[in-house]
Structure 1
Amino acid sequence: MSRLLHSHTESDSLNSDDDWIDLSLPIRTRPAPKPAKPPITTTPADDPPTIQDIITHLTEDEKELLLFFSITTSPDRLVALRKFYLDALADLTRLPFSQTYTQSEKVDYLCLKNYLSRNLRRLDLQEQRQSSPEVYTLLPFAVHITRLCEARQRVNMGLLKPGGDWRAVAGDLGDAAEQARSTKEWIEKGELSSGPVAARRAVKAARELVGQVKEFFNFFDRFDPEFGWWVGEPYKDFVGAVEGLVKTIETRLLGRSGKEDADDGEIVGDPVGREGLLLELEGEMIPYTPEELIGFANEQWAWCESEMAKAATELGFGGDWAAALDHVKDKYEPPGGQVAMVKGLVDESAAYVKSHDLVTVPPVAEQTWRMFMLSPEEQKTTPFFLGGEEIFVAYPTGNMSHAAKMMSLRGNNRHMARGAAFHEMFPGHRLQLYMSARYKPYRRLFRTSFYNEGWAMYWELLLWERGDFFKSAEDRIGTLFWRKHRCARIIFSLKFHLGEMSAQECVDFLVDKVGHERATAEGEIRRSLDGDWGKEVLEKKGWSEKEFHDRVLKASEMPIEMLRALLLGETEVDLARDLKSDWKFYDELDRNRE
């Protein structure tokens, strides 16, 4: 019986008769096979990576490193991240720049270079802070337990082999528990003390280590029967001892009661100092000193007080802005009315910017936002609205004390809420985050508070200047409260980090000078411490306001100087590889006023 063999390559036609050979013929009479056809190469040589590819790859690699080296106080983490950023920076310097890059690519290059340099400087400061002897005095076991947890993270086979040295691990945990108990006793006897900053760092590091040890235990306890026999009790002893130490540090060194629902205790920040502020300002491409920014904030503060006095006079309070603000605070919604009020304000702001053709609001963005209520515990650090992809609303609950209820009601009244709802949702953060997820999302690596908060603040200024959004004197008082608050935030945060104001002085400043309720001022400080430049682009490019705003949103996130360079283009802003930030935006604002 004749047998037929179908022999073909992927590039041959399946219908070719030449591919069929009759195997029944003797070998010598078979036709000579045709030479094999050379394979057709269909995969082109890899294209060189674009700057966008490089940013995307670096973002994902950085995520992997941060996930793997998850103990933030680990020396190994610092070493790994420093090598990663140095290697990436060296690779970046070998890329082309002015020869081939568009203005958009130059912006990406400079943003990435700035990001890497900034993170390297941050690591240097972090290393200085972590080497504080005070922290290790409070946590003498931290280094050894960190190494133990990192051995598990690295899947150290000496630790993971069957019948691993669990007796040694049990001994390590037992020793650490004894060190924690001894430290706790010394603090209680007054034989060991520490400043509040070091105590706060120690509490944070201790809680992180307890979480890591819990993960360590749960991992091995699931598959090695000998592990639990050796380590079970020492593990429980360690967790209990460290949690007891944390409670003692909080009550004795930080002045907290230890009760979960308590509001007492000193508010403790962690000042970065002038060097740290200059580092961050350089990373934000802000060519001003902290002292200069405080001066600018004071100028804007004076303008706010003048405008509030005008509104107060209109309301019959004779220019007394504090009395007028009290009047506005009393216009709060009754129990059960806050949700409908906030929904109405968000819908109104979206309708306003659409009807005046100020910015594009995609239907899905407008239709799918969600609302949540903040719990009493959350309101300790977020006493007002919090917005982004969703909006979180502060309002008193039935189990709050009467004083706490009244402060929450007064701090979230209708007119102050009107000055915040659009900031958080439309055209503010909700629209901003929606667009940045869809247009050049790789630029989210360069996220900056100057871009995020600056966008929402810009709309506060623009809607004020339009004159038809804040119509009533109460509405003007409400939004001026927030504008004054922005000035205050610049002043108190910079002065705190410069060592010129304590956390409590920051609270008093918000209460006495801005008009905050004390509880809301304390929440703001806990959260804080734990512009006209667009007109230049409009005039030079001839864009409508809507076109300008849409272009800003589609550019995604980056330092503002880079956004300006991108929008103006290379004919107006010539970017160099070794760019040093020099855009004096406040000086430019003064020139425009003249």
Structure 2
Amino acid sequence: MIPSSLSRSFTRPLTSSQNIQPELSESTLRGLIERITEDLRDIEAFLPIKISTRRRERIREFLTAELNSLKQYERDFQRLNQESQVDYLLIKNYMERELRQLDLDCKQDEKASALIPFATILVDLCEARAFVLPINSQEAAQKLFEVQVGIAEVIEKVENESTAQSIEKPVAFRAARTIDALRDHLNEWYLFYKGYDPSFDWWVSSPYGIVEKGLQNISAIVRDRLVGIKAGDDGAIVGQPIGREGLLADLRAEMIPYSPEELISIGEKEFDWCIGELKKASSCMGLKSDWKQALEKVKNEYVEAGKQTQLVKKLFNEAVEFVEKHDLVTVPSVAKNAWQMFMMSPERQRVNPFFLGGDSIIVSYPTDTMDHEAKLMSMRGNNVHFARATVFHEMIPGHHLQMHVNARSKPYRRIFDSPFSVEGWALYWEFLLWDDERFVKTPENRIGMLFWRLHRCARIIFSIKFHLGQMAPQECIDLLVNAVGHEYATAEGEVRRSLSGEYSPLYQIGYMVGAIQIHAMRKEVVGQGIMSEKIFHDTFLKENRMPNEIMRALMLGKKLYPNYRPSWRFYSDAK
């Protein structure tokens, strides 16, 4: 256990930022962001257990102190150059968002606490090890015995039918994941002392083994009885809806001045546009307006097994040659000539059925371990025409180029990661190459490009409706299969990826909405002659990551304020 004296000293007010008089320069704000980034990283590494009350208090105290210190800049905000004003707004927005996330996590964990009443004991044991406090092995064994009793009591409750019906699946799933994390942390604690402290081994080895097994069992039982996931099966998709208020808070942080309902409407309008274009392309293929038949034809145009890597390389070179020939964006030599390709495992393809990209490209394609049906679905889902759009999205001019430049230009801003900027950039290029008649496209190519665009529209609809409680995971899968034309396996993988909790609630809408924002921004900046197209693209990359509204203000030289609020109605501006 943590002694009360240590607890008090650990939560003492921070003083590191007090009495610091700001120098009104860009380097000062950059240094501030870099220090906050590293300090947060150290705090989170020192106290890695996410449900820890001490961790949350420490982070909340740190962020609150830094926000109070940041107020020193408000008085002289207009004396800062615009780059520094942007940095001020970015770090302020970031810290306010982190504080809101702490509150949200606390509320969600409170709901799950009935299934992990023993969590505090385990957290205290592990954090005592972090503080390198002297360990009393007999007391530690007693604490593990108390955990053992707590686990047995929870299992009894879970196996009671009335209790099982009263706990929501997302709450139970969160509890199970927390139990898994606690088991990992307890294992690290045990291995730290085992073999080095003779009394520890004598007292703790037996109760630790019982608790370790108990945590494994209770996680499996909670998943089975309360979530519906059987042992060895990850088939169920659960997710954690955050509700309308949660969506509005995240939208404010991303500086999107639209309601969830307005964004659904945008998704539906863009969806209808895609259907109209799909019908045009299918007519050019001699299939009248039967776009689903055209899509089936396109899906069956895949390369034979073992040839996908060569297709990807060919498509990569095509994309690079096009943007360089037409001087659309700067492509550094290293970015062009030092990329790597890897193959995605069958297990990972369950969550990511298509390509992934960034530093490298990770190719989805069947392996000899997949059954016949799974092989065909993977090949159809990664056909030649889908792949053509995917490669320039993931590599150049998309994510690979973006990450290459971001790592070399104002890299301190990568902490302000936003799907509207990152995923929006890659999809924006799909918009641009669709519009550019110099980029040769057969009707089949158009079907492939439109499939992805339609898919991103559907993501807006199902992800927001899921978080509003209006769609269940199976309904999301059905939408992708029936309305977009996905293979069932790829639809299931996409929904699993969207709702698993590995991505932020707004991540999936960031593709289409972010692309619309950047497209509208280009119309203003390039259309008004403020920048050439190439300079616009280079500037977007070199300024690094931030909400697109702030990027627009930076490019247009708009006046900023310490309490800046989003107001850009980009969808109407894009029309």
Match of residue 550 from structure 1 = 538
RMSD of the TM alignment (CA)?
A: 1.6
Q: Which moved more, 1:310-319 or 1:537-546?
A: 537-546
Match of residue 303 from structure 2 = 333
Match of residue 547 from structure 2 = 559
Match of residue 20 from structure 1 = none
Match of residue 515 from structure 2 = none
Asked whether 1:576 is paired with 2:547, we answer no
Q: Deviations over 1:443-479 (max 9, x none)?
A: 1111111000111111010000002325101100001
TM-score w.r.t. length of structure 2:
0.90
Residue pair 1:383, 1:523 contacting (<8 A) in 2 also: yes
Q: How far is the alpha carbon of 1:47 from its aligned partner?
A: 6.9
Asked whether 1:155 is paired with 2:132, we answer yes
SS in 2 for 1:219: helix
Asked whether 1:138 is paired with 2:144, we answer no
Matches of 1:252 and 1:458 in 2, distance apart?
44
Matches of 1:239 and 1:275 in 2, distance apart?
38
Q: Deviations over 1:408-441 (max 9, x none)?
A: 1110101001111100000000000110110000
Counting only pairs closer than 5 Å after superposition, residues 99-110 of structure 1 correspond to structure 2 as 99-110=78-89
Matches of 1:177 and 1:534 in 2, distance apart?
61
Distance 1:125 1:189, change over 3 A: closer
Q: Deviations over 1:382-404 (max 9, x none)?
A: 00011111111111111111111
SS in 2 for 1:349: helix
Distance 1:273 1:47, change over 3 A: closer
Matches of 1:109 and 1:229 in 2, distance apart?
55
Matches of 1:465 and 1:546 in 2, distance apart?
16
Counting only pairs closer than 5 Å after superposition, residues 370-409 of structure 1 correspond to structure 2 as 370-409=340-379
Q: Which moved more, 1:146-155 or 1:235-244?
A: 146-155
Match 1:60 to one of 38, 48, 69: 38
Asked whether 1:310 is paired with 2:280, we answer yes
Asked whether 1:169 is paired with 2:154, we answer no
Matches of 1:344 and 1:46 in 2, distance apart?
52
Distance 1:190 1:46, change over 3 A: closer
TM-score w.r.t. length of structure 1:
0.87
Q: How far is the alpha carbon of 1:245 from its aligned partner?
A: 1.1
Asked whether 1:200 is paired with 2:173, we answer yes
Residue pair 1:463, 1:470 contacting (<8 A) in 2 also: no
Asked whether 1:589 is paired with 2:568, we answer no
Match 1:501 to one of 449, 465, 471: 471
Matches of 1:320 and 1:468 in 2, distance apart?
27
Match of residue 107 from structure 2 = 128
Match of residue 526 from structure 2 = 538
Counting only pairs closer than 5 Å after superposition, residues 269-288 of structure 1 correspond to structure 2 as 269-288=239-258
Matches of 1:79 and 1:357 in 2, distance apart?
51
Asked whether 1:232 is paired with 2:220, we answer no
Matches of 2:45 and 2:361 in 1, distance apart?
28
Residue type matched to 1:174 in 2?
A: F
Matches of 2:76 and 2:562 in 1, distance apart?
7
Q: How far is the alpha carbon of 1:152 from its aligned partner?
A: 1.3
Counting only pairs closer than 5 Å after superposition, residues 505-520 of structure 1 correspond to structure 2 as 505-520=475-490
Q: How far is the alpha carbon of 1:344 from its aligned partner?
A: 1.1
Q: Deviations over 1:276-315 (max 9, x none)?
A: 1001100000011010011111111111000000111111
SS in 2 for 1:387: coil
Match of residue 185 from structure 2 = 212
Residue type matched to 2:559 in 1?
A: D
**Percent identity of paired positions between Structure 1 and Structure 2:** 45
Residue pair 2:22, 2:28 contacting (<8 A) in 1 also: no
Asked whether 1:324 is paired with 2:303, we answer no
Q: How far is the alpha carbon of 1:175 from its aligned partner?
A: 2.3
Residue type matched to 1:455 in 2?
A: W
Q: How far is the alpha carbon of 1:148 from its aligned partner?
A: 1.5
Residue pair 1:345, 1:421 contacting (<8 A) in 2 also: yes
Matches of 2:245 and 2:99 in 1, distance apart?
14
Question: How many residue pairs are counted as aligned between the two chains?
Answer: 532
Match of residue 343 from structure 1 = 313
Match of residue 443 from structure 1 = 413
Distance 1:171 1:509, change over 3 A: same
Match of residue 94 from structure 1 = 72
Match of residue 34 from structure 1 = none
Q: How far is the alpha carbon of 1:588 from its aligned partner?
A: 1.3
Gaps of 5+ in 1: 1-44
Match 2:459 to one of 473, 489, 497: 489
Residue pair 2:267, 2:457 contacting (<8 A) in 1 also: yes
SS in 1 for 2:200: helix
Residue type matched to 2:350 in 1?
A: K
Residue type matched to 2:227 in 1?
A: L
Q: How far is the alpha carbon of 1:192 from its aligned partner?
A: 3.4
Match 1:117 to one of 80, 96, 103: 96
Q: How far is the alpha carbon of 1:153 from its aligned partner?
A: 1.3
Q: Which moved more, 1:402-411 or 1:531-540?
A: 531-540
Structure with greater Cα Rg: 1
Match of residue 424 from structure 1 = 394
Residue pair 1:333, 1:413 contacting (<8 A) in 2 also: yes
Residue type matched to 1:469 in 2?
A: F
Gaps of 5+ in 2: 1-20, 501-518
Matches of 1:124 and 1:238 in 2, distance apart?
30
Residue type matched to 1:252 in 2?
A: R
Match of residue 69 from structure 1 = 47
SS in 2 for 1:391: strand
Match of residue 24 from structure 1 = none
Distance 1:146 1:232, change over 3 A: same
SS in 1 for 2:528: helix
Counting only pairs closer than 5 Å after superposition, residues 357-372 of structure 1 correspond to structure 2 as 357-372=327-342
Matches of 1:192 and 1:507 in 2, distance apart?
30
Residue type matched to 1:439 in 2?
A: S
Q: How far is the alpha carbon of 1:185 from its aligned partner?
A: 4.3
Specify which structure has the higher proportion of helix. Answer: 2
Distance 1:47 1:586, change over 3 A: closer
Q: How far is the alpha carbon of 1:187 from its aligned partner?
A: 2.8
